Amino acid sequence: MTTYRIAEAAALLGVSDDTVRRWVDAGRLPASTGRGRAVVEGADLAALAEELADHPDREASRASAVSARNRLDGIVVRVVRDTVMAQVDLICGPYRLVSLMSTEAADELGLERGVRATASVKATNVVVERP
């Protein structure tokens, strides 16, 4: 039987240790004590992981669901749309960032001049989010 410590379970689920402890305290995730530490059985953790994948938990922060580490808060200064693509210009402190995305994505995010947004930069891509 495979077991995971709270920190390991949190890392696998992409949430904080405190979130996993809250789930254990609320009875959402069964845990037992092994060697003086709370541990979660692998099967129980897998079941919760599937549940979270099907129905994302609102407690989990958006940042935990994003693999990009360079996140810059800013304001949208320009949005140019055509039928398929949109160009979104942001000012994030001293930086000006430009993101190309589908027009559908820009519309779903409600991106317009003056809207607060977060740019997540990973490699050469800029991902834009609304807080």
pTM: 0.47
CATH of 3-64, one of 3.40.190.10, 1.10.3720.10, 1.10.540.10, 1.10.1660.10: 1.10.1660.10
- CATH number (3.30.750.80, 2.40.50.100, 2.60.120.10, 2.40.30.20) of 70-129 reads 2.40.50.100
The answer to whether the CB of 76 falls within 8 A of the CB of 112 is yes
Q: In 3-state terms, what secondary structure has residue 47?
A: helix
Q: Where are the domains of the chain?
A: 3-64, 70-129
The residue type found at 70 is N
Q: What pLDDT, in 10s, does the model give residues 29-86?
A: 999 886 788 898 888 888 888 787 766 554 444 444 555 567 888 888 889 999 999 9
H/E run at residue 52: helix 42-54
